[in-house]
Structure 1
Amino acid sequence: MLNPRFYEALGIDDIREKVQASERLTIEDGRRLFECPDLSSVAALAHYVRMQRHGMRVTWVRNRHVNYTNVCANDCRFCAFHRRVGEEGGFTLSLDEIVDKATSAGDITELHIVGGCHPELGLDFFETALRTLHEKLPNTSIKAFTPVEIEHFAKLESISTREVLERLSAAGQEMMPGGGAEIFDPDVRARICPEKVSGDEWLRISKEAHSMGIRTNCTMLFGHVESVEHRLDHLDKLRRLQDETNGFICFILLPFLIKNSALELPEGFAGVSAPDILRTLAISRLMLDNIPHIKSYWVMLGVKLALTALHYGADDFDGTVVEEKIGHMAGASSEQALTPEGIVAMACDCGFTPVERDALFRPKNTEPQGESPC
């Protein structure tokens, strides 16, 4: 129960009323929630919304990540993953290696493919990869290439981003991941990723994909040089695009990890705290009233914090993953993979009902009718 007297004492009962009436929160409402001294009250609001939408269900997917290269033409200051051509530590998978990684993961529902903006890998390479993967894994949905990669392919081939999307879609791309959004504010981007596609262009390419029927995820990288105002502006821009297109299916919050980062930070900066992560996730659930799902991305949060986040508005736990390099090269200490049995057991232990899903968040209905996986 959301006790009105408790929220009155905190000075945010008007926000509670909006939440319970399913009214949209303003940026100023979001700012007040960031300033609220009682984190549990913010969590309760987000959990209320989560329960109204999804009940005690926690969705998860049998998925496999393939990071095809870390060679990148961009030089994002925060990124510990990227390498220049010929630099020590750089890698680029061959077509056979991409296919081997994808097909060795067993029975997967979703294949997640992302990588650096390699200056020498043309679009035909990825079209061939997608066709081969689609042929070998006909029952697996392919979620591939962020708006940043789409823009890179367009520049490399001197064609429009729409043509890139059309060619990739024809080859087997079904969805797009949401990476590269970072923080949309241009001043922040000038400090953390000056060579990367602008925030406006990221949004434009996402809108273009949505207009073609390609569903996408969206993200926010936070906990570096941005302010609370920048976070709220970012969420508002996602919300406004979703009003137009209804193409985002899931939002993923990505805490900045400081290990191996070249970003200039204040002396003694230790990274974003767990309470700030949970508060920002809860406020994201409250602000993004038109995006169906909020992911608790255990790869970046760590398993324990990701399970806690399920009580702060998140309803999805991602999946098995199998192998992930981007977050781990930045210092993520989580496991490289989880088993289906492990995910189900953890969700049950936390009082939730695990529901296996497909790439579009539709239940797979693997359990016998009426039987609980717990």
Structure 2
Amino acid sequence: MTANPEIDSILQRGADGGRITPEEALLLYTEAPFHELGEAADAVRRRRHPEGIVTYLIDRNINYTNVCVTACKFCAFFRAPKHKEGWAHPIEEILHRAGEAVELGATQVMLQGGHHPDFGVAYYEHLFSSVKQEFPQLAIHSIGPSEILHMAKVDGVSIEDAVIRIKAAGLDSIAGAGAEMLPDRPRKAIAPLKESGARWLEVMAIAHRHGLSSTATMMMGTGETNFERIEHIRMIRDVQDLAVANGYSDVAVEQSHEVGGFRAFIPWTYQAENNHLKGRTQATTMEYLRFIAVSRLFFDNISHLQASWLTTGKDIGQLSLHMGVDDLGSIMLEENVISSAGAKHRSNLQELITMIRTADRIPAWRDTWYKHLAVHLTPADDPTDDRVVSHFSSIALPGGGVRKALPLVQTS
């Protein structure tokens, strides 16, 4: 209970599973007492995931090129076409990195890169089919709506045709990449050459109709207003409503590979190094934690909420487990895009599990679709492979680190 009856009422309704409006979400975000807000969000987590499990994943982000025509102001990864530091890895290099990931227990790869001017649908068909043929056990959770729009434009085909073809080639799930901020004003300010937020969501809706589920993300801290942060999640919730209404998303069968819709929401914080924005604005820890809690209350139609310890730090990642979060994301065996902008937080498998356990939660290793592969009920159940360390960054090496093998960097 708080001193404000209106806030009390909204918190109670959200905690009980009722829908809150965008206006109410904004009121909670800006005025609700911190502890009461977290308590209500955690009540949602307990109702959705009563077994007290917090999940994690082992995966590797593999970049196929850093060449990009979009030139987003917050990105430190891309190089313009014909830049002397631009590169595109051959399929053999990508398969080599995928093989290393499999050896370390990865169940997923995220194939991620720039909007290369020459890469159309056929390139991605070859990329996905090559990985899937060599490593059928790996889920390909990759690219985002921006890449789909780009490949369709390069080849002069429809978005629907592009989605059908890349799914047939082996794409299992679409990443929430490229969402950043969906409302028009902040999106144009940080990524003026990208598609609109509405167009980004339109591509997601097409993919959902064709049985591809996805994640949704948000980058906080580039100068957006509190209202625009809430508007971002309002836009995502509306698209998820359509998926649920049309039977593309069904929580009861969400672990099926043939069910569309958003599986999880993942907000993360802008990293300020080596890009044009240069850290003029950034989200505070309290802004992030409050937004995590409001997101859990607001998304009555999305099952999972993931914390971004990579950008906020492990201490904030653990604290978020008391603000409605049920997933700590992954031990990323390789990550370059956010790292190149200054994300320096690293962990290893044992440390991530300890973060979960000392927050009074039960750790569980999951796959892309949140199926539990192993539940660590007691410390005796914990895996002990000290090779599983996040994360090696190959971007600092010439040519993107071709044939630079794991082992990975030290967590310190």
Mapping 1:166-315, distance limit 5 Å: 166-245=164-243, 246=249, 247-263=261-277, 269=280, 271-315=282-326
1:58 paired with 2:67, answer no
2:72 and 2:171 mapped to 1: Cα distance? 26
2:3 and 2:129 mapped to 1: Cα distance? 58
1:132 partner amino acid:
S
Identity %: 30
1:81 paired with 2:73, answer no
User: 292-301 or 226-235: which moved more?
Assistant: 292-301
Q: Once the 2 structures are TM-superposed, how far is the Cα of residue 340 of structure 1 from its aligned partner? A: 3.1
1:305 partner amino acid:
I
2:217 and 2:382 mapped to 1: Cα distance? 30
Q: Once the 2 structures are TM-superposed, how far is the Cα of residue 8 of structure 1 from its aligned partner? A: 3.7
2:16 and 2:41 mapped to 1: Cα distance? 13
1:333 paired with 2:331, answer no
2:82 partner amino acid:
G
2:345 and 2:12 mapped to 1: Cα distance? 38
Q: Once the 2 structures are TM-superposed, how far is the Cα of residue 86 of structure 1 from its aligned partner? A: 2.6
1:160 and 1:345 mapped to 2: Cα distance? 47
2:274 partner amino acid:
N
User: 237-246 or 83-92: which moved more?
Assistant: 83-92
> 1:119, 1:156 within 8 Å by CA — same for their partners in 2?
yes
> 1:353, 1:372 within 8 Å by CA — same for their partners in 2?
no
The gaps in structure 1 that reach 5 residues or longer are none
> 2:222, 2:281 within 8 Å by CA — same for their partners in 1?
no
1:316 and 1:122 mapped to 2: Cα distance? 34
Using a 3 Å threshold, how does the CA distance of structure 1 residues 21 and 320 change in structure 2: closer, same or farther?
closer
Q: 1:139 aligns to what? A: 137
User: When the two structures are superposed, what TM-score results if normalisation uses the length of structure 1?
Assistant: 0.92
**2:335 paired residue among 324, 327, 338:** 324
1:40 paired with 2:35, answer yes
Q: 1:18 aligns to what? A: 13
1:331 and 1:9 mapped to 2: Cα distance? 40
Q: 2:160 aligns to what? A: 162
Superimposed CA distance per residue, residues 5-53 of structure 1 (whole angstroms, 9 cap, x where no aligned partner): xx24575111122123321011121111122263222111111111111
Q: Once the 2 structures are TM-superposed, how far is the Cα of residue 132 of structure 1 from its aligned partner? A: 1.6
Q: Match of 2:372, SS?
A: coil
**1:125 paired residue among 123, 126, 138:** 123
> 2:54, 2:364 within 8 Å by CA — same for their partners in 1?
yes
> 1:80, 1:261 within 8 Å by CA — same for their partners in 2?
yes
1:353 paired with 2:362, answer yes
User: 37-46 or 64-73: which moved more?
Assistant: 37-46
1:21 and 1:8 mapped to 2: Cα distance? 20
> 1:10, 1:36 within 8 Å by CA — same for their partners in 2?
no
1:307 partner amino acid:
Q
Q: 2:68 aligns to what? A: 72
1:354 and 1:288 mapped to 2: Cα distance? 23
User: When the two structures are superposed, what TM-score results if normalisation uses the length of structure 2?
Assistant: 0.84
1:328 and 1:368 mapped to 2: Cα distance? 33
> 1:58, 1:353 within 8 Å by CA — same for their partners in 2?
yes
> 1:81, 1:326 within 8 Å by CA — same for their partners in 2?
yes
> 1:99, 1:129 within 8 Å by CA — same for their partners in 2?
no
2:272 partner amino acid:
I
1:101 paired with 2:112, answer no
Q: How many residues align?
A: 364
Q: Once the 2 structures are TM-superposed, how far is the Cα of residue 130 of structure 1 from its aligned partner? A: 1.3
1:261 and 1:93 mapped to 2: Cα distance? 23
Q: Once the 2 structures are TM-superposed, how far is the Cα of residue 87 of structure 1 from its aligned partner? A: 2.2
The gaps in structure 2 that reach 5 residues or longer are 244-248, 250-260, 384-412
Superimposed CA distance per residue, residues 303-344 of structure 1 (whole angstroms, 9 cap, x where no aligned partner): 222111111111111122101011111110112xx4433322
Q: 2:256 aligns to what? A: none
Using a 3 Å threshold, how does the CA distance of structure 1 residues 80 and 10 change in structure 2: closer, same or farther?
farther
Using a 3 Å threshold, how does the CA distance of structure 1 residues 73 and 270 change in structure 2: closer, same or farther?
closer
Q: Match of 1:252, SS?
A: strand
